[in-house]
Amino acid sequence: MTLLDVSGLKSGYGEFIVIHDVDLSIERDEMVTIIGPNGAGKSTLLKSIVGLTDIKTGEILLNDIDVTDVPPEEKIYNGICYVPQVDNVFPNLTILENLKMGAWALDSTDDTFEDRVEEVYKRFPVLEERPQQKARTLSGGQQQMVAMGAALMLDPNLLILDEPSAGLAPQLVDDVFEKIVEINEQSETAVLMVEQNARRALEESDRGVVLDLGETKMRGAGTELLESDEAQELYLGT
């Protein structure tokens, strides 16, 4: 079943068009990675889906519902949660307070909050060890876990991650990818991410999309793209 269906998307910032006629669909249980050179428009494509750019033409359907013009704070109610590349935690708030911020759209009259915190702690045990620690005092990898944990507080259908492994040491990159795969496989959450660590991301993904100059240049199974001479030569650095 198709979860997200983007068609004919043209978007950018004001009059500056970055994304030109892009189509992209994601099934309910899929993990899809967008790769491409710097400035290709990868982050802009994610932001367009979330509602943070100006959309000129095209349509974004989520579960067959047209969410093209739905503002980002309301997209959460459609099941989309987004973790930006930078500034994705509140540095002066504790881990638990960050999770509370992530849960802002939960109905405060029921006890879902505690259940969700338990669920997030199960997924990221490191967060449960020190809920009162300020986010700014955590390592980069731990901060990424806080950011993903906060996004998971709303139990999204679609988790959108912009370069989740950016700036992390190799061991932490492994940890972060392991968590993303777990979220995708165990929480019935589709994942759409942009990654500079293209090989690793494609190895873990069901499908990959190559974006260049705001257009889709290639698409296919993750393994297929990894084996493609063209993708290797132009986008994977060999």
Ligand X SMILES: Nc1ncnc2c1ncn2[C@@H]1O[C@H](COP(=O)(O)OP(=O)(O)OP(=O)(O)O)[C@@H](O)[C@H]1O
Size of the site for ligand X (CB under 6 A): 11
Q: SS3 for 65? A: strand
Q: Rounded to an integer, what distance in angstroms lies between the CA atom of residue 108 and that of residue 229?
A: 53
Binding of residue 40 to ligand X (CB under 6 A): yes
Q: How far is the CB of 99 from ligand X (least distance, A)?
A: 27
Q: Rounded to an integer, what distance in angstroms lies between the CA atom of residue 219 and that of residue 223?
A: 11
Scanning residues 41 to 80, which ones bind ligand X (CB under 6 A)? 41-44
Which residues make Cβ contacts (< 8 Å) with residue 178, sequence separation at least 6?
A: none
Using the contact rule CB under 6 A, the part of the chain among 32-40, 107-115, 126-134, 218-226 near ligand X is 32-40
Q: How far is the CB of 82 from ligand X (least distance, A)?
A: 14
Bridge partners of 4? 26, 62
Give 88 or 98: the residue with its C-beta nearer to ligand X.
Answer: 88
DSSP letters spanning 126-185: HHHH-TTSBGGGS-HHHHHHHHHHHHHTT--SEEEEE-TTTT--HHHHHHHHHHHHHHHH
Q: How far is the CB of 166 from ligand X (least distance, A)?
A: 9
Q: How far is the CB of 215 from ligand X (least distance, A)?
A: 12
Using the contact rule CB under 6 A, the part of the chain among 37-45, 60-68, 97-105, 223-231 near ligand X is 37-45
Whether residue 118 contacts residue 191, with contact meaning beta carbons closer than 8 Å, is answered with no
Give 141 or 214: the residue with its C-beta nearer to ligand X.
Answer: 214
- Site residues for ligand X per CB under 6 A: 13, 16, 18, 36, 38-44
